[in-house]
Amino acid sequence: MDNTKMNIPVKRAMRNLGSGIRSARLRRRTPMSIIAERASISRTTLDKIEKGDGGVAIGSYASVLFALGLIDRLGEIAELQNDPIGMRLEAEVLPKRIRTGGRRKSERPETSA
């Protein structure tokens, strides 16, 4: 996907992800060539990832996160506890009232008038 066709919040999120990946690599003092080799991608692709390029396959991003030991976080992105909108929608479909095993109208004793 061409970066010019992405929404501004998406561009920002991709840049932040790329920047975070670069920072994680630098904190580990690991050269680009090593991470690229471990992720089975080229250095050029890793450079694009670190810049937040939206045209790079998500599998490549995942491979780099794995090479950095951060892959577990990727699986947590869309989980329910990280999705406040989904949690609210899920709560709306819960039953409002739960019936108990009380008497039904036909079981009530007859009253004489």
Cβ 2 vs Cβ 55: under 8 Å: yes
Average pLDDT of the chain to the nearest whole number: 88
Which has the higher per-residue pLDDT, 40 or 93?
Answer: 40
For the cut 90, the answer to whether the pLDDT of residue 5 exceeds it is: no
Supply the pLDDT for residue 46.
Answer: 98
What percentage of the chain carries pLDDT values higher than 70?
81
Q: Helices in the chain by DSSP H: which ranges?
A: 8-27, 32-38, 43-50, 58-67, 71-76, 84-92
Between CA 47 and CA 4 the distance in angstroms is 18
Give how far Cα 19 sits from Cα of 36, 51, 102, 108, Å: 16, 7, 61, 70
Grade residue 81 by pLDDT with cuts at 50, 70 and 90.
confident
For 86-113, what is the mean pLDDT? Answer: 70
Q: Residue 52 CB: number of other CB atoms within 10 A?
A: 23
CB 18 within 8 A of CB 49: yes
Q: What is the per-residue pLDDT for 58?
A: 96
pLDDT tens column, 39-52? 999 999 999 999 99
Q: How far apart are CA 109 and CA 86, in angstroms?
A: 46
> What's the pTM value of the predicted model, to 2 decimals?
0.74
Question: What's the confidence (pLDDT) of residue 77?
Answer: 87
Structural domains of the chain, ranges and CATH numbers in brackets: 3-91 (1.10.260.40)
